[in-house]
């Protein structure tokens, strides 16, 4: 029975889009990221990885693996897939700035840039949500900024016209305007581009319209 369960777990993870393995040594945090995609999306997958890449080909799919060091910074400085941000929050739990990540008076968890409601309306489930491009932001649960984070109707219109790319660009334009007005740190062009790369790979992997 145990062997059967192990085989099931392994087979379910072989083709998972993103897998993260965190490790700590001498106060240093490393993450090994494994990305498995169809060969047609190989170049997109390479864009989201940093460091030396190992690869393994299985039929029409390729698995890419890379390891990088992660410095402890404030939550808002990290962008990436939702499961990556959740993993970071567990690794940095208790550090200054990370104690309020899941509290409603704090970051209220990682924010799915493409809202859960939109993805559900488009017919996508938990695995797609888990890999969706996300950010941390301290205004995520603030009712005064509800439409900045959860404007489902506008996102559906953007999706029809401009795809996932349009939704991501619109979000960062909105939130950076608010950040500037309130004197909060803005998401940098590098962070925005990183999230666009993540979103492009995610969209192509799950069959979402990109542009």
Give 79-114 pLDDT, tens digit per residue: 999 999 999 999 999 999 999 999 988 899 999 999
* pLDDT above 90 as % of the chain: 83
In terms of residue numbers, what domain contains 147? Answer: 73-206
Asked whether the beta carbons of 122 and 87 are under 8 A apart, the reply is no
Is the confidence at residue 9, as pLDDT, over 80? no
Per-residue pLDDT at 3 exceeds 60: no
Q: Provide the pLDDT confidence category of residue 26 given band limits of 50, 70 and 90.
A: confident
Decide: helix, strand or coil at residue 111: strand
| Residue 94 domain-assigned (yes or no) | yes
Q: Considering the domain boundaries, does residue 193 fall inside one?
A: yes
Residue 174 maps to a domain: yes
What's the first-to-final CA gap in the chain, in angstroms? 46
Mean pLDDT score of the chain: 91
Mean pLDDT of 31-40: 96
Least confident range from 9-18, 22-31, 77-86, 180-189: namely 9-18
Q: Is there a domain that residue 108 lies in?
A: yes
Question: Burial code of 36-52, b = ≥16 C-beta within 10 A, e = fewer?
Answer: bbeeebeebbbebbeee
What's the number of domains the chain is made of? 1
Specify if 110 maps to a domain.
Answer: yes
CA distance 68 to 62: 20
User: Sign (positive/negative) of CA torsion 119, 38, 165, 194?
Assistant: positive
Asked whether residue 107 is assigned to any structural domain, the reply reads yes
Count, residues in the chain: 211
Neighbours of 117 (CB within 10 A): 14
- 13: its two tokens: 């993870």
Average pLDDT of span 45-73? 93
């Amino acid at each position: 029975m145990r062997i059967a369960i192990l085989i099931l777990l392994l087979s379910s993870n072989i083709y998972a889009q993103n897998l993260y393995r965190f490790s700590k040594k001498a106060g240093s945090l490393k993450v090994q990221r494994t990305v498995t995609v169809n060969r047609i999306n190989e170049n997109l997958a390479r864009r989201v990885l940093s460091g030396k890449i190992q690869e393994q080909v299985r039929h029409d799919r390729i698995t890419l693996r890379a390891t990088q060091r992660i410095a402890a910074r404030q939550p808002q400085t990290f962008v990436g897939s939702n499961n990556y941000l959740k993993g970071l929050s567990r690794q940095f739990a208790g550090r200054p700035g990370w104690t309020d990540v899941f509290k409603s008076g704090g970051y209220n968890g990682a924010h799915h840039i493409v809202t859960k409601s939109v993805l559900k309306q488009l017919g996508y489930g938990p695995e797609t949500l888990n890999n969706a491009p996300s950010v941390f932001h301290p205004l995520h649960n603030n009712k005064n900024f509800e439409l900045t984070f959860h404007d489902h109707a506008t996102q559906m219109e953007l999706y029809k016209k401009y795809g996932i790319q349009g939704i991501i660009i619109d979000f960062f334009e909105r939130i950076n305007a608010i950040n500037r007005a309130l004197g909060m740190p803005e998401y940098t062009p590098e962070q925005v581009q990183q999230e666009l790369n993540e979103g492009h790979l995610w969209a192509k992997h799950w069959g979402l319209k990109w542009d």
